[in-house]
């Protein structure tokens, strides 16, 4: 017999927008609070499905502090109809939300290691909860290195926080841009070049990589070349998602449902797949 009917995981719940911060031209950070149930716990790296009334639903990573149980924080880039509608949400408006879903970054496995964060573009958003966690529990981790690549200086995400993290003695931050402007006096070049320059201890390091897939491929190659084991590199994958619970089939990547078995996946498990176009 099928026992008690399972909960309806496809049903969103109403959440109120309590803050909107414009991060750059088309990137916004929304603070959300629940109007019905208590705020569920989340793991850094997990995502929610956010629903804009009548427009649709998209997966968006959690970008806030998992220790803050008062609400959820999401950083959204307006690229499609739904993400544009979400990014235009006004304070006090209400969105639909279901989640959190997916597997997070392997923080337990990372304990006792140096941590290398490699974030490209908006890829810093799903990694920010990791950084908060590492900084709050720094006694469990070694050195923390944060490498962030951005298209241009204006698009550097969480710029003031990066500057603040940089001031900690146990943290190094390096930022590079693909295209500099006259205001920029920092690195120019791609993220893998930062990996080559970073001072870290490859055998004792666990790397968390998030960004566009091509950036993750080249960053993983640079990490491997530097001597970080393939099983110590973790990447966060992006695929089309409709259900977020492994039932709609859209996000399949080989045998993995990215929504359920990922989005964070160990590089050694997917390295061969990443090399196959259109998989």
Partner 1 sequence: MSPSAPAPARKGMIIDRDGLQSLLDRLSARGFDVIGPTVRDGAIIYDRISSVDVMPEGWTDDQDAARYRLARRSDMALFGYAVGPHSWRRFLQPPEERLWQATRQQVGLTIHTTAVPSAPYAFIGVRACELRAISIQDRVFLEGPHPDRRYAERRRGAFIVAVNCTEAGGTCFCASMGSGPRAADGFDLALTELIDANGHRFLLEVGTDAGAASVEDLPSRDADAGALVAAEEATARAAAGMRRKMATAGLKELLQANPEHPHWSEVAERCLACANCTLVCPTCFCSTVADYTDLRGHEADRVRRWDSCFAADFSSIHGGPVRASRRARYRQWMSHKLAHWIDQFDISGCVGCGRCITWCPVGIDITVEAAAIRAAPPRPAAGEGDDDGNA
Partner 2 sequence: MEMLESMLLAHPFLAGMDPGFGHLLFGCARNLRFAPGTFLFREGESADEFYLLREGRVALQLHIPGRSPLVIATLGDGDLVGASWLVAPYRWSYDALATAPTRAFGLNAACLREKSEVDHHLGYEMMRRLVPVMVKRMQAARHQLIDVYGRPPT
Binding site for partner 1 (CB under 8 A): 1-2, 5-14, 16, 35, 51, 53-57, 79-80, 83, 92-94, 96, 230-231, 238-240, 242-243, 245-250, 252, 254-257, 260, 268-273, 275-279
Q: How far is CA 141 from CA 83, 107, 132, in A?
A: 35, 10, 13
Give the range of 93-101, 162-170, 172-180, 259-267 binding partner 2 by CB under 8 A: 172-180
Helix, strand, or coil here: 149? strand
**Short-list 208, 205, 134, 130, CA closest to 171:** 134
22: contact with partner 2 by CB under 8 A = no
Tokens 């220790």 sit at which residue?
67
202: contact with partner 2 by CB under 8 A = no
CA atoms within 13 A on the CB side of 179: 5
Which among partner 2, partner 1, none contacts residue 150 (Cβ within 5 to 8 A by kind)?
A: partner 2
Region of residue 45 (left: phi > 0; alpha: psi -120 to 50; beta: else):
left
**Burial label, 254 (beta-carbon count in 10 A; 0-12, 13-18, 19+):** middle
**Minimal distance, residue 229 CB to partner 1, in Å:** 9
Q: How far is CA 81 from CA 2, 76, 77, in A?
A: 39, 12, 11
Binding mask 119-148 for partner 2 (x = CB under 8 A): -xxx--------------------------
277: contact with partner 2 by CB under 8 A = no
185: contact with partner 2 by CB under 8 A = yes
Which among partner 1, partner 2, none contacts residue 187 (Cβ within 5 to 8 A by kind)?
A: partner 2
84: contact with partner 2 by CB under 8 A = no
178: contact with partner 2 by CB under 8 A = yes
Which among partner 1, partner 2, none contacts residue 185 (Cβ within 5 to 8 A by kind)?
A: partner 2
Q: Which two tokens stand for residue 241?
A: 């998602």
Q: What is the three-state SS of 82-110?
A: HHHHHHCCCCCCEEEEEEEECECCCHHHH
Q: Which two tokens stand for residue 4?
A: 């008690």
**Site residues (CB under 8 A) for partner 2?**
79, 120-122, 149-151, 155, 176, 178-182, 184-190, 192-193, 196-197, 211-212, 214-215, 218
């Amino acid at each position: 017999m099928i026992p008690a009917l399972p909960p309806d995981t496809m049903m969103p719940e109403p959440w109120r927008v309590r803050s909107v911060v414009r991060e750059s031209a088309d990137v916004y950070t929304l603070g959300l609070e629940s109007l019905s149930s208590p705020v569920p716990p989340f793991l850094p790296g997990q995502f929610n499905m956010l629903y804009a009334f009548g427009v649709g639903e998209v997966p968006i990573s959690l970008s806030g502090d998992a220790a803050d149980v008062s609400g959820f924080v999401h950083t959204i880039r307006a690229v499609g109809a739904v993400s544009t509608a979400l990014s235009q949400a006004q304070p006090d408006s209400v969105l639909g939300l279901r989640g959190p879903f997916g597997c997070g970054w392997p923080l337990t496995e990372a304990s006792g290691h140096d941590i290398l964060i490699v974030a490209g573009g908006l890829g810093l958003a799903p990694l920010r909860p990791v950084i908060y966690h590492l900084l709050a529990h720094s006694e469990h981790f070694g050195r923390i290195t944060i490498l962030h690549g951005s298209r241009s200086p204006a698009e550097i995400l969480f710029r003031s926080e990066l500057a603040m993290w940089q001031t900690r003695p146990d943290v190094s931050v390096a930022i590079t841009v693909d295209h500099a402007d006259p205001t920029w006096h920092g690195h120019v070049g791609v993220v893998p070049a930062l990996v080559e320059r970073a001072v870290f201890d490859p055998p004792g390091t666990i790397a968390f990589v998030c960004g566009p897939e091509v950036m993750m491929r080249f960053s993983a190659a640079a990490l491997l070349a530097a001597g970080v084991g393939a099983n110590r590199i973790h990447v966060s994958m992006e695929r089309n998602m409709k259900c977020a619970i492994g039932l709609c089939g859209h996000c399949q990547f080989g045998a993995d449902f990215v929504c359920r078995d990922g989005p964070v996946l160990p590089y050694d498990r997917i390295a061969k797949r990443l090399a196959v176009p259109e998989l």
